[in-house]
Homo-oligomer: A and B are copies of this chain.
Amino acid sequence: MAVTLKDVAREAGVAISTASRALSGAADPITSTGTRERVREVARRLKYRYNLHARCLRTGRSETVGILACDLGQRIGLAKLLAVEAAVREKGYRTLLRYRHQAGLKGRQLGFAQEFASSEVEGAIVINVDAEHSGPLGALIQRGIPVVSLEPLEGVPADVVTVDRMAGAYLLTKHLLDLGHRRIGLLCSSLTTPGLAERHWGYQQALAECGCSFDEAVFARLPSNVALGTCVRGYEAARELLARRPLPTAVFCSNDEVAFGAMKALAEAGLRVPEDMAVVGFDDIEMAAFAPVPLTTVRQPVGEQATQAVALLFERIANPDDERPPRAIRLKPRLVVRASSGGPVVVSDGRED
């Protein structure tokens, strides 16, 4: 059906091997200029396209990296996905997307990482996985396929390029403390999940420096049903928090979407932002500046994270026998002060840590 290398060779009057050389090697004069041009002309005329699987089977390289993600409810995750895709493409590689909706998890217990066929991908970038998949990820690495994660991973010997959430949380909390807040609410889905625990530590550290301590009463958990959407979950958690007394004077939201939800809950309760309650988010998605009250938040260096992760991955791919231990790169986020915290609107770059 499809036109193959044999057709091109026959039409051009050369051997298959010659045709292959004429088409693959870019500048190597392993074929004479005459035949090379002739073969290429024929290939163009016949609309020849190489067969991916034959080439990959023969060369042993698939020129593909897998992108693994579990929950892309937040805009920041999608931004990272796109950034990784761009960085991978920059290297001339393909991207295979493997996405597991949270809702679909119960259907199949098998981790999706181990589902990769042999030589399907040469490496993988993990945007975001829940803990249940760390096992399969380990199996992947054991098969000699390098993995780089954008989130902290426990018990898996993978390189990680993370955004220092602790520093981010510290910056935000410090910012609120500097503005005089002493009772700062906390809205997130868990205190123990790796990425979130980090945030909590940063929050607590800033509190401790100020002589304050964490009061469980200001913590409201997001509903676990992700099908609700992150804004809605933030809204629900905020309503729960607002029912308690005494009210905090500020609230720390685990991401910008949650902050949007919280703002709605505050507005409905007749509370003004930031006069009655300050609000800060996390991520600095584009909409943060367009929130009901422009949102003070912390910016994740998405592009840099993707670039570095992909660079690390390709380094591993190029040196498969290199047994060097997993590396961890932590990128510093940047405080973006807007109106929702009530402070003077400035941007400090937070590199002092």
Contact = CB atoms under 8 A, between A and B. Distances in A.
A50 B99 contact: no
Interface stretch (A188-196, A205-213, A286-294): A286-294
A62 B67 contact: no
B286 A264 contact: no
Contact of A62 (B47, B53, B119, B263): B53
Interface stretch (A13-21, A89-97, A165-173, A175-183): A89-97
Nearest to A121: B52
A231 B289 contact: yes
A56 interface: yes
A206 to B, nearest CB: 28
Contact of A2 (B50, B56, B75, B119): B119
A230 interface: yes
Contact of A119 (B53, B118, B229): B53
Most buried by B among A53, A78, A99, A263: A53
A27 interface: no
Nearest to A58: B53
Contacts of A116: 49
B49 A290 contact: no
One complex includes copies of this chain to the number of 2
Nearest to A234: B290
Given A94-B96, A97-B67, A97-B95, A118 B57 contact: no
A94 B52 CA distance: 15
A219 interface: no
A304 interface: no
Nearest to A56: B53
A166 to B, nearest CB: 28
Contacts of A49: 116-118, 143
Contacts of A52: 53, 56, 62, 117-120
A2 B292 contact: no
Interface string A1-18: 110100000000000000
B85 A97 contact: yes
A101 interface: yes
A286 B4 CA distance: 48
Nearest to A78: B78
Nearest to A116: B49
- What 7 A-B pairs come out closest when comparing CB atoms? A52-B117, A53-B57, A53-B56, A53-B53, A49-B118, A292-B292, A260-B290
25 contacts: A1-B144, A2-B143, A2-B144, A50-B117, A51-B117, A52-B53, A52-B56, A52-B62, A52-B119, A53-B54, A53-B119, A72-B78, A72-B82, A78-B78, A82-B101, A86-B101, A95-B96, A95-B97, A231-B289, A260-B287, A261-B290, A264-B289, A264-B290, A291-B292, A292-B292
Given A86-B101, A89-B99, A229-B286, 7 more contacts: A49-B118, A50-B117, A52-B62, A52-B118, A53-B53, A55-B117, A96-B97
